[in-house]
Amino acid sequence: MELSDLTIRLLLLFFPGIIATLILDKLTTHRGRELKDFILYSFILGLTSYSILYIAVEIINLINNTTLTVQFIEALTNGKSTINIKEVFFATLISFILGVLVSIMVNRKMIHRAAQKLKITKKFGDSDVWQYIFESPDIEWITIRDLSNDLVYQGWVSAYSDTHDNNELFLRDVIVYRNSDGSRLYEVKGMYLTKNKDDLIIEFPQIGQPQ
């Protein structure tokens, strides 16, 4: 597939946004994104990177009495203008920091927590309930009832899948009981579990109050 000159130009101009989006994609847990989402995030984060660069340049001009400019808009709207590679480079450096900062905001759900405190929403983020529960610092020991096999597993959560779709758990210091009569069967240092979610009941002996 051949890329047009316009496509190559846009890819180069929005390279900072692509980098920031890739960092965000790697450092956050989320459901699968479509191509249109990736393009939109790259566009927004790219514009943000150049905006920060513009502010930095204006501050430098103010302090040093210089006349430096950011040519991004000109390069974007005028196909005959030359792309300033140094400008793309500095915007890309900014995009690395921007990607990390946005990832921190997403992982700590800062926007949703602020909105909840302001009683704007009860939504806890883009993650599903599975991720929301197991990300809680209060969740350690859990009880899992495997109804189809008449078993109960008790242990502490060492690792879990990103979403409920995968439904994977790794438990440590596991004690296994028979569900029907509560008899203790055996102990094991570690156990990997993946089952149909309809066959499992997960109980939490201790859990803190929602923030």
Structure tokens given for 206? 């201790």
Question: Residues 16-27: what's their mean pLDDT?
Answer: 95
pLDDT digits 0-9 by tens, 142-176: 999 998 899 999 999 888 876 555 678 899 999 99
pLDDT band at residue 191 using 50, 70 and 90 as cut-offs: very high
Any bridge partners for residue 159, and if so which?
A: 170
DSSP designation for 198: G
- Per-residue burial over 112-126, b = 16 or more CB atoms within 10 Å of its CB, e = otherwise: beeebeeeeeeebbe
Which tens digit of pLDDT belongs to each residue from 59-84?
999 999 999 999 999 999 888 889 99
Contacts of 189 (CB under 8 A, 6+ apart): 172, 173, 174
**How far is residue 122's CA from residue 118's CA, in Å, rounded to a whole number?**
10
pLDDT in tens, 84-123: 999 999 999 999 999 999 999 988 888 878 888 888 877 7
- What pLDDT was estimated at residue 2? 59
Contact between 164 and 129 (Cβ < 8 Å): yes
Are the C-beta atoms of 43 and 17 separated by less than 8 Å?
yes
Tokens in use for 143? 């009880």
Q: How far is CA 176 from CA 45, 145, 154, 210, in A?
A: 49, 10, 6, 30
Residue for token digits 């946004």? Answer: 17
Residue 135 has pLDDT above 90, yes or no: no
CATH among 3.60.15.10, 3.20.20.105, 2.30.30.100, 3.40.50.1220 for 129-203: 2.30.30.100
Residue in 85, 108, 82 with CA at minimum distance from that of residue 211: 108
**What is the rounded distance in angstroms from the CA atom of residue 84 to the CA atom of residue 70?**
9
What are all long-range contacts of 82-90, with beta carbons under 8 Å and residues at least 24 apart?
Answer: 83/9, 83/12, 83/13, 87/50, 87/53, 88/12, 88/13, 88/15, 88/16, 90/53
How far does CA 88 lie from the centroid of its chain? 25
Q: Where are the domains of the chain?
A: 5-114, 129-203
